[in-house]
């Protein structure tokens, strides 16, 4: 789960990483009030779970409370990469002498947390890694040994930070970043830029924070940070129904059981010339109600013109899936053609159920490839 | 032969008294796996259809000689169960549980290096050696005994490819589901090394998916260490970046971890990659006939 900048900064603050004081505003009046309380100039920052806010005009400086009101008016409602801005973060503007970059990532390749630090902050880190890899200091922490202060010192010396005051502050922030990474079971904690003010004070000016969904059961405070309004409305509906659904941009609705098989089905639909409308994974269980729920999400997408069920029964039973399809067809009016391919546990019984009921818009195919071809034809 | 599980497997199920643990544990026994014990703290002394239940893994090992553990306990307690099994001297730990926190797995992975043990999973369908032993939730009836080793990050996709192999008249030495999480116990490389050393295995199919770099590491290993031919399949060619495709591990960040990058890495090192499960199965069949 990705967190908003203001949420990440709040976690930074709780763990002793210096951040600017700020307030959250949901409307222009709140932005004005926040600017009044904080003292101008302030920065009005769009809160969206995507990058490129600055380039899109989602970050603006305001010199007065009235100006903050006007800037918030501009930014709220803006669409940034498909994400609509519903809230802005107002914080006291910072004077910036230098911009650095500091992050801690869950490096799944090395299976260790990875520190990255460079004095070339404020820009895309992939750019730094490509153009001047020598300027990017990388350092892995052993998961069993944990963090030791020398590791923070190693980062600042290796990157060539010369000012002793900066060295001390950054090394200390590195330790605190490790604390918050561990405490929140984060997959990513990124500070870009980590600024140095003209007075020599080091502070986190932005935050990118991702936590592990699998660990949320023991972090009630983080779980509450989930913005139920964010993201695609269909993906939201799917989440409420407990269906794993990712919206894509085509016409063939894809429904499979298991992430790998569903991903593969999306690929195969593409390879035979179609465009998948979604990725929808029934999961391991795949009972009749699950099928009904999944179909109700898929058919809400107006782009969908055909639906391809690709089910390989293991724990999921083919007859249960067939019952679910028939139940859904009797409960909802689905006009789109449905192509079903069933294999594995109780697949024969499932196919028989479908053939006996024989709804007019239902097509049973023998293999995954044939099913994909048929669904693509029917969507054309 | 076969790898990881066979007729010498003496299985203890951690969580045997739970509904899933019981269902699959007994199903594995019905297949022919030697199910010797269950472990559920507080239920020691009971039995599940004749299988003795112990309070601790170490008691199960001492009393029954269990050498392999299958873990079916809920995610919040799974890491503890893994450590307990390792500490009791279990050589093969197979964790089916889904939803184990990634940070737990970092520590477990580091701890595993200090033990002489292999862990499969978490979030995996288990291991099946046809006609010898089934440990996990793989539907055994799809597979036949044979000479193709199959290793995969995905459950149902494994069944799909196994089914296609069976249709083409091919059987398997062992099917290993290593799990779809960002950090798992045994990687592709560890399982490939076992297939290379296994006399029953003549060909290997590796089923990967988007995210991480384990397929790329496997490509290097295959080139330098393997004499047996390997065919690969990768799922997720059309997955959009930044989106998790069902598996926590199946997410592309930046340019790394794409299906195309994995396919390229494998093909550069002489590994044939099927673009569909059907094509992957046909490639193996062609090799087997040659």
- Which CATH number is A84's domain given? 3.30.1490.20
What is the spatial distance between Cα B82 and Cα B95, in angstroms, rounded to a whole number? 8
The pLDDT assigned to A240 comes to 81
Q: Looking at the structure, tell me whether residues A145 and A170 fall in a common domain.
A: yes
B259: pLDDT strictly greater than 70: yes
What is the spatial distance between Cα B217 and Cα B264, in angstroms, rounded to a whole number? 13
**Residues of the domain holding A27:** 22-92
Q: What is the largest CA-CA distance in chain A?
A: 80
The pLDDT assigned to A290 comes to 84
**Do B156 and A256 make contact, defined as CB atoms within 8 angstroms?**
yes
Out of A182, A202, A223, pick the residue that ends a domain.
A223
| Chain B residues whose beta carbon lies within 8 Å of the beta carbon of residue A182 | 103
Contacts of A295 (CB under 8 A, 6+ apart): A255, A307, A324, A325, A328, A332, A334
B251: pLDDT strictly greater than 80: no
Question: What b/e sequence results for A245-255 when a residue is b if at least 16 CB atoms lie within 10 Å of its CB, and e otherwise?
Answer: bbbbebbbbbb
Residue B79 backbone phi and psi in degrees, to 5: -60, -45
Q: Looking at the structure, tell me whether residues A332 and A237 fall in a common domain.
A: yes
The partner residue sitting opposite B180, judged by closest CB among A212, A260, A279, is: A260
| CATH architecture label of B10-120 | 3-Layer(aba) Sandwich (3.40)
Name the residue in chain A with its Cα closest to that of B233. Answer: A264
Contacts of A54 (CB under 8 A, 6+ apart): none
State the alpha helices, DSSP H only, in chain B.
19-31, 57-64, 75-87, 102-112, 156-167, 188-197, 214-225, 259-268, 277-289
Query: Tens digits of per-residue pLDDT, A278-305?
Result: 999 987 666 778 888 899 899 999 999 9
Fold: same for B10-120 and B139-289: yes
State the alpha helices, DSSP H only, in B113-271.
156-167, 188-197, 214-225, 259-268
Q: Looking at the structure, tell me whether residues A213 and A277 fall in a common domain.
A: no
Q: What is the DSSP letter of A303?
A: T
| B160 vs A: CB within 8 A | yes
What is the spatial distance between Cα A210 and Cα A220, in angstroms, rounded to a whole number? 15
More confident residue, B144 or A122: B144
| Chain B residues whose beta carbon lies within 8 Å of the beta carbon of residue A213 | 248
The pLDDT assigned to A234 comes to 82
**Terminal Cα distance for chain B, rounded:** 23
To the query of whether residue A101 is one of the catalytic residues in this protein, the response is yes
CB B142 within 8 A of CB A344: yes
Query: Tens digits of per-residue pLDDT, A40-50?
Result: 999 999 999 88
Query: Tens digits of per-residue pLDDT, B85-121?
Result: 999 999 999 999 999 999 999 999 999 999 999 999 9
| Chain A residues whose beta carbon lies within 8 Å of the beta carbon of residue B235 | 260-261, 263-264, 267
**Do B99 and A270 make contact, defined as CB atoms within 8 angstroms?**
no
| A318 vs B: CB within 8 A | no
The pLDDT assigned to B107 comes to 96
Q: Residue ranges of the domains in chain B?
A: 10-120, 139-289
Q: Looking at the structure, tell me whether residues A35 and A140 fall in a common domain.
A: no
Mean pLDDT of the residues in chain A: 92
| CATH code reported for the domain at B139-289 | 3.40.50.261
% of residues, chain A, pLDDT over 70: 99
Q: Looking at the structure, tell me whether residues A346 and A289 fall in a common domain.
A: yes
Identify the CA nearest to B258 among candidates B274, B242, B277, B279. Answer: B242
| A344 vs B: CB within 8 A | yes
pLDDT bin (cut points 50, 70, 90) of residue B250 is: low
What is the spatial distance between Cα A179 and Cα A173, in angstroms, rounded to a whole number? 10
Tokens of residue B134, six digits: 């089934």
**Do B254 and A369 make contact, defined as CB atoms within 8 angstroms?**
no
**Residue A6 in domain:** no
Query: Tens digits of per-residue pLDDT, A170-226?
Result: 999 999 999 999 999 999 999 999 999 999 999 999 999 999 999 999 999 999 998
Which chain A residues in 19-58 lie under 8 Å from chain B, judged by CB atoms? none
Name the residue in chain A with its Cα closest to that of B187. Answer: A109
B7: pLDDT strictly greater than 70: yes
% of residues, chain B, pLDDT over 70: 96
A193 prior amide bond cis, ω within 30: yes
Contacts of B61 (CB under 8 A, 6+ apart): B12, B67, B88, B89, B90
**Residue A111 in domain:** yes
Q: Looking at the structure, tell me whether residues A196 and A76 fall in a common domain.
A: no
What is the spatial distance between Cα A138 and Cα B278, in angstroms, rounded to a whole number? 42
Query: Tens digits of per-residue pLDDT, B138-155?
Result: 989 889 999 999 999 998
Out of A191, A223, A255, pick the residue that ends a domain.
A223
Q: Looking at the structure, tell me whether residues A133 and A180 fall in a common domain.
A: yes
Q: Looking at the structure, tell me whether residues A116 and A188 fall in a common domain.
A: yes
**Terminal Cα distance for chain A, rounded:** 36
| A130 vs B: CB within 8 A | no
CB A59 within 8 A of CB A88: no
| Chain B residues whose beta carbon lies within 8 Å of the beta carbon of residue A104 | none
The total number of structural domains that make up chain A: 3
Tokens of residue B211, six digits: 């995210």
* Mean pLDDT, residues B259-286 taken together: 94
Query: Tens digits of per-residue pLDDT, A63-111?
Result: 999 999 999 999 999 998 888 999 999 999 999 999 999 999 999 989 9
Contacts of B179 (CB under 8 A, 6+ apart): B95, B120, B121, B122, B123, B124, B153, B185
| Chain A residues whose beta carbon lies within 8 Å of the beta carbon of residue B259 | 267
Domain with residue A110: its CATH number is 3.30.470.20
Out of A190, A223, A256, pick the residue that ends a domain.
A223
Q: Looking at the structure, tell me whether residues A201 and A67 fall in a common domain.
A: no
Q: Looking at the structure, tell me whether residues A55 and A148 fall in a common domain.
A: no
**Residue A340 in domain:** yes
The 10 Å Cβ neighbour count of residue A133 is 10
Q: What is the DSSP letter of B253?
A: B
| A259 vs B: CB within 8 A | yes
The partner residue sitting opposite A314, judged by closest CB among B102, B155, B248, is: B155
What 3-state class would DSSP assign to A351? helix
Question: What b/e sequence results for A16-43 when a residue is b if at least 16 CB atoms lie within 10 Å of its CB, and e otherwise?
Answer: ebbbbebbbbeebebbbbbbbebebebb
Mean pLDDT of the residues in chain B: 94
A37: pLDDT strictly greater than 60: yes
Output the CA torsion B220→B222→B225→B229 (10° steps). -160
**Residue A206 in domain:** yes
A352: pLDDT strictly greater than 80: yes
Name the residue in chain B with its Cα closest to that of A185. Answer: B103
The pLDDT assigned to B255 comes to 55
Q: Looking at the structure, tell me whether residues A211 and A242 fall in a common domain.
A: no
**Residue A16 in domain:** no
Query: Tens digits of per-residue pLDDT, B121-134?
Result: 999 999 999 999 99
Domain with residue A313: its CATH number is 3.40.50.261
Q: Looking at the structure, tell me whether residues A193 and A238 fall in a common domain.
A: no
**Do A111 and B159 make contact, defined as CB atoms within 8 angstroms?**
no
Which chain B residues in 251-270 lie under 8 Å from chain A, judged by CB atoms? 254, 259
Tokens of residue A186, six digits: 């984060």
The 10 Å Cβ neighbour count of residue A220 is 8
């Amino acid at each position: 789960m990705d967190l908003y900048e203001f949420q990440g900064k709040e976690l930074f603050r709780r763990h002793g990483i210096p951040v600017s004081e700020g307030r959250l505003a949901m409307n222009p009046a709140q932005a004005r009030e926040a600017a009044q309380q904080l003292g101008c100039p302030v920065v009005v920052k769009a809160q969206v779970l995507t990058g490129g806010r600055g380039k899109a005009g989602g970050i603006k400086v305001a010199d007065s409370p009235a100006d903050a009101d006007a800037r918030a008016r501009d930014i709220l409602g803006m669409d940034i990469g498909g994400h609509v801005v519903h809230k802005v973060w107002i914080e006291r503007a910072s004077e910036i002498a230098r911009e650095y970059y500091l992050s801690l990532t869950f490096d799944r390749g090395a299976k260790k947390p990875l520190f990255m630090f460079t004095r070339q902050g404020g820009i895309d880190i992939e750019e730094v890694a490509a153009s001047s890899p020598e300027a990017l200091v990388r350092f892995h922490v052993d998961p069993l040994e944990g963090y030791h202060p020398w590791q923070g010192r190693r980062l600042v010396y290796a990157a060539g930070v010369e000012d002793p005051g900066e060295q001390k502050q950054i090394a200390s922030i590195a330790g605190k970043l490790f604390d918050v990474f561990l405490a929140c079971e984060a997959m990513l904690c990124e500070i870009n830029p980590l600024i140095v003010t003209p007075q020599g004070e080091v502070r986190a000016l932005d935050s990118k924070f991702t936590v592990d969904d699998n660990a949320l059961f023991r972090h009630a405070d983080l779980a509450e940070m989930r913005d139920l309004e964010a993201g695609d409305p269909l993906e939201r509906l799917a989440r409420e129904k407990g269906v794993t659904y990712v919206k894509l941009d085509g016409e063939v609705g894809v429904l499979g059981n298991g992430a790998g098989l569903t991903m593969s089905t999306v690929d195969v639909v593409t390879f035979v010339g179609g465009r998948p409308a979604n990725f929808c994974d029934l999961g391991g269980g795949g009972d009749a109600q699950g099928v009904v729920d999944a179909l109700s999400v898929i058919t809400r997408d107006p782009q969908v013109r055909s639906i391809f069920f690709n089910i390989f029964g293991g724990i999921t039973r083919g007859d249960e899936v067939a019952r679910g399809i028939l139940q859904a067809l009797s409960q909802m009016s689905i006009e789109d053609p449905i192509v079903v391919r069933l294999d594995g546990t109780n697949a024969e019984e499932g196919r028989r159920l479908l053939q006996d009921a024989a709804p007019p818009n239902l097509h049973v195919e023998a293999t995954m490839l044939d099913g994909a071809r048929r669904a693509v034809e029917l969507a054309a | 032969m076969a790898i990881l599980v066979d007729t010498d497997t003496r299985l203890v199920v951690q969580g045997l008294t739970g509904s899933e643990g019981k269902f699959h544990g007994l199903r594995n026994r019905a297949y022919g796996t030697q199910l010797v014990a269950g472990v559920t703290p507080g239920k020691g002394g009971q039995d599940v259809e004749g299988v003795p239940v112990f309070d601790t893994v170490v008691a199960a090992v001492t009393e029954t000689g269990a050498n392999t553990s299958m873990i079916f306990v809920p995610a919040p307690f799974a890491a503890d169960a893994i450590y307990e099994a390792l500490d009791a001297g279990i050589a093969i730990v197979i964790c089916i549980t889904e939803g184990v926190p990634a940070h737990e797995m970092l520590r477990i992975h580091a701890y595993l290096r200090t033990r002489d043990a292999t862990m499969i999973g978490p979030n995996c369908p288990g291991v099946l050696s046809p006609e010898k032993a089934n440990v996990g939730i793989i539907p055994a009836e799809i597979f036949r005994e044979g000479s193709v080793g199959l290793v995969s990050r995905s459950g149902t996709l494994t069944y799909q490819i196994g089914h296609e192999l069976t249709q083409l008249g091919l059987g398997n030495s062992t099917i290993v589901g290593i799990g779809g999480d960002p950090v798992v116990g045994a990687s592709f490389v560890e399982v490939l090394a076992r297939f290379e050393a296994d006399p029953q295995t003549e060909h290997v199919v590796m089923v990967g998916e988007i995210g991480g770099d384990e397929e790329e590491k496997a490509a290097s290993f295959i080139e330098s260490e393997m004499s047996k031919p390997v065919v690969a399949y990768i799922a997720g060619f059309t997955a959009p970046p930044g989106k998790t495709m069902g598996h926590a591990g199946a997410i592309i960040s930046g340019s790394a971890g794409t299906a195309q990058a994995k396919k390229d890495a494998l093909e550069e090192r002489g590994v044939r990659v099927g673009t569909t499960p059907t094509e992957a199965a046909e490639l193996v069949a062609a090799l087997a006939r040659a």
